[in-house]
Amino acid sequence: MNERFLQLSDVAEILNISASQTYALVRSGELPAIKIGGRGQWRVERTELEAYIQRAYEQTRAFVLANPLARHEPVPED
């Protein structure tokens, strides 16, 4: 069953980023989340994660269009 809310560790795994990067996305407001429980655990709604991913695709598309790769420019390794 797909759960409605994800832990930050789940989000980090889905996005293939570190837990600290995930926390920074949440704290900056870039990735909407809620803080629940007595210990204030963060949860990200699955629909918010999907919306964040779509925004990232749109921002990347706009960046690529505005900054085309020159023929002589080397492609960076990942």
pTM of the shown model: 0.83
Which tens digit of pLDDT belongs to each residue from 10-48?
999 999 999 999 999 999 999 999 999 989 999 999 999
Domain count, the chain: 1
Q: What is the DSSP string of 21-76?
A: HHHHHHHHTSS--EEETTTTEEEEEHHHHHHHHHHHHHHHHHHHHHSPPPTTSPPP
What pLDDT was estimated at residue 2?
79
Q: What is the CATH number of the domain that holds 20?
A: 1.10.1660
Flag whether 73 is in a domain. no
In a domain, 55, yes or no: yes
- Domain with 54, as residue range(s), is 5-66
Name 43's bridge partners: 7, 34
What are φ and ψ of residue 54, in 5° steps? -65, -40
The answer to which of 3-7, 10-14, 71-75 has the lowest mean pLDDT is 71-75
